Structure 1
Amino acid sequence: MADLRSPPPPSAASPPRSTTDLFGDPIDAHPLWFRQSSFLHPEFDSEAYIADLRTFVPFETLRSELRSHLSSLKHELVELINRDYANFVNLSTKLVDVDAAVVRMRAPLTEIREKIVEFRVAVEGSLVALQSGLRQRAEAEAAKEVLQLLLDTFHVVSKVEKLIKELPSVAADWSNGDVKPAEKDHLSNGISLQYTENGTNLRETQSMLLERIASEMNRLKFYITHAQNLPFIENMEKRIRNASLLLDASLRHCFVDGLEHRDANVIYNCLRAYAAIDNTSSAEEIFRSTVVARLVQKIIPHNSAGVVGGASQDELDEDYKQIKQYIEKDCKFLLEISSTENSGLHVFSFLANSILKEVLSAIQKGKPGAFSPGRPKEFLKNYRASLDILAHLEGYCPSRSAVTKFRAEAVYIEFMKQWNVGVYFSLRFQEIAGALDSALMGASFVPMQTSHLQSGNTQDLTLKQSVTLLECLRSCWREDVLVLSCSDKFLRLSLQLLSRYSNWLSAGLAARKAGNTGSNPVSEWSISAIPDDFVYIIHDLNCLVANICGDFLGHVIEVLSSCSTEIVDLVKQSILQGGKSLKDLVPLVTNSIIETVVEKSVEDLRQLKGITATYRMTNKPLPVRHSPYVSGVLRPLKAFLDGERSATYLTRDMRDELVQGAAVEITGRYHELAADLVSVARKTESSLQRIRQGAQRRAGASSDVSDHNVSDTDKICMQLFLDIQEFGRNLAALGVEAAKIPAYRSLWQCVAPTDRQNTISF
């Protein structure tokens, strides 16, 4: 043990030992790849550790590091022992007679262990017994419940049979109302003849008894549901079925008798009985077959083959009026009873499964043609009448939830399916769109007759195509055409009509501009049209835009007033966009008129080429007046403006726009021709001048013989200058300032004398 003792402490004079080297690293620091924490992992494997390190660490280096680590561990162990050496030495002195103490403590511990084992065995036995008792108790409780359920079922079946026996065996016993006390001397559950003696008729008493039986049958159904597949219940099935059949027959007879006598108390009790046994369909069917069918048969008679009896038409308006009267007179009392507040009778749906079902069946058998959309006018009339009677039936619903329930009924859905609104719209689509297509297929414009222009809502329109468009648009929203549930489809049709008209017009203008005469027969009208015809188009476009964005839009918004604000705004925007598409065509039509007029004016401008022949290589003096062709340049434009159609249908602003546009185009063409003429003249004169000068030099003559003569180009420019002055005066007569046209200013600069270049006057 001497080598484990702590070494003598260092003297105070000796310096402390440094733990870092020159570079500040620990002296016993290990490389980064040597991690001491890896030895502490529970899954540490020395062979795998060495195998991993040998791939990049030499074996000698690894062995050196491991030995160094072992040395440091031993050094730590020595330090730990030396730190607590005194306690370590004293430990052996304090452990005296440890074995004897252990023996003394072992005996009581063994005794306690044995007692605990015995107690555990006793507790486990008690627990097993307790669990067995609880299980037996639960089984007994379950058996008791089943037995009680079977007893209750037996008692209820016996009670129902007893109560049913107290019902009259023959319907005639109580169908006439009150009976004499001698006929029956006793009723179950305390109900005696005292009630009849006090004025309560036997029919009401029987309905009360039936309601009680129905309540017991409801209990019986509950018991049977919870006791299925039991032999006892299976043996009673025949009794239960017979009791159910007797109850249904008695309840039906009582309900029919109550309906015949309008006995509210009897009907109320019978309905509660039907509701108790969850057999509402039977009550609805009884009411339909005994009351509603008899009434509807009088209105819409039909035989077994389904042929209408006595009625030659399929109109339903008058039939529905009579049905409403019959409902008010003969059905309202039952509807009021079934809608009694807090009565539990809301489960019945007499409106749908009795009244509407019978009406649908009668129409299908007696007037099947009423559902046919092949005659759109009659179909729409019948459809609206049907919606009206549905609204009338909904008026008998006591609450909003009742209306929702009525609309969700299968009969209601089937009734609405009979009205094939999609086919109706398709027929209307073909009718309306076909009318516009027929009008647009013509090879020429079709002006309206004067008598038609002076009457009706389309008096401002001049062309049949435009009148047809407006009539088709209005047809989409006429009361005798529109189906509100298809308003989105009719809106789309309206926008398609506008698009069709716009495409027809724009395609014709494009064909006219391209000069394609035979590419599209539909566009032939544009090739043969004259400028006066386009006046009609401009006028009609403006009138159509005013009508569509005015009265037509207002009518559509009024029709859709019941829709939400968002929908109305979207409809308004779409129609205004359609009107804008027509408005955007006006400049195209205007340009087509201008192009036609310009082409006619250019025919006179081409005479400008004769000026060169007039003054080239001649001795004519300088011109003093304008050329004759100038007067004809603006003649097509003036003739167009003076025409009857322009004077009648073009507004002042449109006339000014046409004049200004035509003047700019004609002036531009004038400038092109004149500039080319002057350029060619100057080039020709320059060439002739060089030839003349060469000949004179060869002849030895003087080169300035003709320097003081006026050149042919000057004469040509002077003639053009006089012509454009007259042209400017003609433009001024039409209200156009020539000086404001860039092409005219360029032309002036090209031909005007030097001293008049900067001033335009004529």
Structure 2
Amino acid sequence: MPELHPSRSPAELFGDSPPHWLEKSAFNRPDFDAEAYISSLRSFVPLENLSVELQAHVNSLQAELVDLINRDYADFVSLTAQLVDVDAAAARMREPLVEFRGKVAALRTAVDASLASLLAGLRQRAAAEQAREVIELLIDSAHVVSKVEKLIKELPSTPTDWSTVDDVPAEKGTLAEINTSGTSIRETQSILLERIASEMNRLKFYVSHSEGLPFLENMKKRIHEATSSLDGSLGHCFVNGLEHRDANAIYNCLRAYAAIDSTTAAEELFGKTIVSPLIQKVISHDSPVVGGVSSELLEGDYQQIMDFITNDCKFLLDISSSANSGLHVFDFLANSILKEVLLSIQKGKPGAFSPGRPTEFLKNYKSSMLFLDYLEGYCASRSAVTKFRSAPVYVDFMRQWNVGVYFSLRFQEIAGTLDSVLTVGSIALVDDLNDNEGKDHKLLMRQSVGLMESLRSCWNEDVVVFSSADKFLRLSLQLISRFSSWLSSGLEARKAHHLSSNSTTNSGWAIAADVEDFIYVMHDVRLLISELTSGFLANVIRYLESCSADVLDIVKESILHAAKSLEDSVPAIMDAMIEGTAVKCIEDLKHLKGITATYRMTNKLPVRHSPYVSGVLRPLKAFIDGDRVSHLTNEARHELLLGIAERITIRYHDFAADVVNVARKTETSLLRLRQGAQRRVGASSDTVDNNISDTEKICMQIFLDIQEYGRNLAALGIRAADIPAYRSLWQLVAPEDRQTEIVF
């Protein structure tokens, strides 16, 4: 066959090699992506060049393919000649495979038949097993019913028989067999009842597992009769054992009740037959009337009930709480004793739960809590206490005591008392104010006395309830805050000299009060702070000592913070006294302006201090020498004296500076007018006036005055040189040769 001659590429014809950017090996990669490849090349190769080179590459590949065919053409031709009788060979290979497939199908059919037969046999076996179990269950149920009926026949048939059970001789049969150990008939009966209860428990199990079977449906009447007979006989035996204090019989009866899961029946029976008659002897359903008034106090009743419990119920409580007895399922404390007590109180003394009479309510509440503590003393473990407290009867009993309403009434009573005192439009003093004995340790104002009495009432044993201690603590803080607000609002109103439209509530008292009255305020506030941070705080911590350390720290911090609000008002009180006294003293300083008229346009020179100086400190001296100042501490007295002196001196300096400045301005104006007049008449303006100016005379007079003022301050124990305003005043009016040293 002639060789093929495909068209050659320009590169092959002219011997040109492909460019270096055309990587032919990239076309053979499994993840080759034409679009990505072209995108990577088009950034530096024009598309026309790229198309030409790719076409050249395609032509070269076609040429190589033609060369391969031409080179191996003989082998391609001989390949078709060697393929002879291919279908026969395939048929020979298919035959064993078909045969093997048939054998596998036959084997699978045989296995499926065997499996189906086996499964059918297993189902028959399971059905037979289930039928056998049902038959055995029915047989056992019938046997148990018959056994229970037989055992019940051994029991006394009427309640009268149980009352004389000790006198009845044991007959032949089951009772005689049980009584061979020489036990009493009552104990023997209880053992038999426990045995019957055990069988009844088995019967309940059988009935629960054979629900809806016709055989058991037919036996329901017999089972019901047996259950009723057991309940009646067990109840009679239990009551008889309680009446005769037969511990063994009671123990067996309780185990029987536990076996049939009828603990409630035992608890109700004990409550009605033993507990209820005892409680009604103490709290009759017909309330007793003493002196025409129904007695609602429970303290004495609880004491009698506790005596009854100790004498008549303790033996049963000890039996039910004995270790390893399995009788922990009973809760006679809650469901028998507490239940009957609650019922008796509700019927006999319903007013005991009413918070409308707070004093009686609190006594009854505390007595009830002590009674509950007494009952918890019979709990053998912590888990028993938890179980007792979670009982519905316990929860219902606690719900009867509406402590929230009680606190609301106490809140209105305590807060209302303080509020009525604080709404007075003036400072009210206590009656024994003139009693000098221990006056430094007594509150002087009715307002502060009312606060302290209210705070003590919050934590009085006859008021506070431990379960609501957080509420009483909050009330205490509110009382302190109320007093602090009354104090601060009054001081602010006095400072602003503004009379509130409702001057009899918060601010009117401070505006209407004399300066001396604030001595009482200062004394009481300091005494309140001392009491809050010492005695009152210790009393609260002592009452809450059973709480955790973190709780006590929070309580202490809150009370100290409340006391801090009172302490913050002390500077304002001191400022009110300082300002009030200083205002009285400053009245005489107004005469300082008369010095200008005295020395203007005269040759008179000052020789002594002005008369007004003696009256400046007269109100301060009267204030300090008054009897009320004795209520202040020495430190407070000195601070007050120094503050008033500083305030007066500041105003003194301001008045003096105004007078001197006005005098200098006036003198300057007159000098300017005089010089202008001299220029107009042709006189020489260089004439020197050797006379002392009015300003100098005024300064000399003020200088004499402040020296006397300094001596008066020294008489009160105050060094004038220590007051910055006095030093400024001295430098304002003192001669140049006396500026550096203050001496008078």
Relative to the length of structure 1, the TM-score reads 0.87
CA shift, 1:229, in A, is 2.7
Match of 1:746 among 724, 728, 736: 728
Q: Single out whichever of 389-398 and 736-745 deviates more from structure 2.
A: 736-745
Partner of 2:10: none
Q: Deviations over 1:175-225 (max 9, x none)?
A: 2233454x73222xxxx4255465322222221111111112111222222
1:118 and 2:106 correspond: yes
CA shift, 1:517, in A, is 1.9
Distance 1:89 1:130, change over 3 A: farther
CA shift, 1:537, in A, is 1.0
CA–CA separation in structure 1 for the residues paired with 2:59 and 2:685: 127
Partner of 2:123: 135
Match of 1:185 among 163, 172, 178: 172
Match of 2:212 among 217, 229, 236: 229
Q: Deviations over 1:113-153 (max 9, x none)?
A: 21111111111222222222222322332333333323322
CA–CA separation in structure 2 for the residues paired with 1:664 and 1:243: 105
CA shift, 1:546, in A, is 1.1
Partner of 1:257: 240
Q: Single out whichever of 255-264 and 696-705 deviates more from structure 2.
A: 696-705
CA–CA separation in structure 2 for the residues paired with 1:77 and 1:452: 136
Q: How does 1:201-350 map to 2 (within 5 A)?
A: 201-303=184-286, 307-308=287-288, 312-350=294-332
CA shift, 1:39, in A, is 7.6
SS at match of 2:163: coil
Amino acid at match of 2:320: S
Distance 1:29 1:196, change over 3 A: closer
Q: Deviations over 1:547-569 (max 9, x none)?
A: 11111111111111100000011
CA–CA separation in structure 2 for the residues paired with 1:744 and 1:184: 122
- Give the unaligned 5+ runs of structure 1: 6-15, 41-45, 47-57
Distance 1:356 1:68, change over 3 A: farther
Amino acid at match of 1:572: K
Partner of 2:544: 560
CA–CA separation in structure 1 for the residues paired with 2:75 and 2:547: 99
Amino acid at match of 2:131: A
Q: Single out whichever of 480-489 and 515-524 deviates more from structure 2.
A: 515-524
Amino acid at match of 1:290: T
Distance 1:69 1:373, change over 3 A: farther
Partner of 1:8: none
Is the Cα contact below 8 Å between 2:646 and 2:725 reproduced in 1? yes
Is the Cα contact below 8 Å between 1:284 and 1:350 reproduced in 2? yes
Distance 1:635 1:309, change over 3 A: closer
CA shift, 1:596, in A, is 0.5
Distance 1:372 1:83, change over 3 A: farther
CA shift, 1:361, in A, is 0.8
Partner of 1:43: none
Partner of 1:164: 152
Q: Single out whichever of 144-153 and 577-586 deviates more from structure 2.
A: 144-153
Match of 1:671 among 642, 648, 653: 653
Is the Cα contact below 8 Å between 1:671 and 1:746 reproduced in 2? yes
Partner of 2:413: 431
CA–CA separation in structure 2 for the residues paired with 1:482 and 1:87: 118
CA–CA separation in structure 2 for the residues paired with 1:227 and 1:105: 66
Partner of 1:595: 579
CA–CA separation in structure 1 for the residues paired with 2:549 and 2:540: 14
Partner of 2:369: 387
Distance 1:728 1:357, change over 3 A: same
CA shift, 1:473, in A, is 1.0
Partner of 1:697: 679
1:687 and 2:708 correspond: no
Is the Cα contact below 8 Å between 1:301 and 1:309 reproduced in 2? no
Q: How does 1:546-695 map to 2 (within 5 A)?
A: 546-620=530-604, 622-646=605-629, 648-695=630-677
Partner of 2:11: none
Amino acid at match of 1:26: L
Q: Single out whichever of 697-706 and 279-288 deviates more from structure 2.
A: 697-706
Is the Cα contact below 8 Å between 2:606 and 2:701 reproduced in 1? yes
Is the Cα contact below 8 Å between 1:178 and 1:196 reproduced in 2? no
Amino acid at match of 1:525: W
Is the Cα contact below 8 Å between 1:308 and 1:365 reproduced in 2? no
CA–CA separation in structure 2 for the residues paired with 1:384 and 1:69: 109
CA shift, 1:581, in A, is 1.4
CA–CA separation in structure 1 for the residues paired with 2:696 and 2:88: 153
CA–CA separation in structure 1 for the residues paired with 2:128 and 2:54: 77
CA–CA separation in structure 1 for the residues paired with 2:699 and 2:188: 126
Distance 1:289 1:711, change over 3 A: same
Q: Single out whichever of 67-76 and 97-106 deviates more from structure 2.
A: 67-76
CA–CA separation in structure 2 for the residues paired with 1:96 and 1:247: 102
- Give the unaligned 5+ runs of structure 2: 6-14, 36-45
Partner of 1:26: 22
Distance 1:85 1:599, change over 3 A: farther
Query: What fraction of aligned residue pairs are identical, expressed as a percent?
Result: 61
Amino acid at match of 1:626: H
Match of 1:105 among 73, 86, 93: 93
Is the Cα contact below 8 Å between 1:302 and 1:365 reproduced in 2? yes
CA–CA separation in structure 2 for the residues paired with 1:698 and 1:663: 52
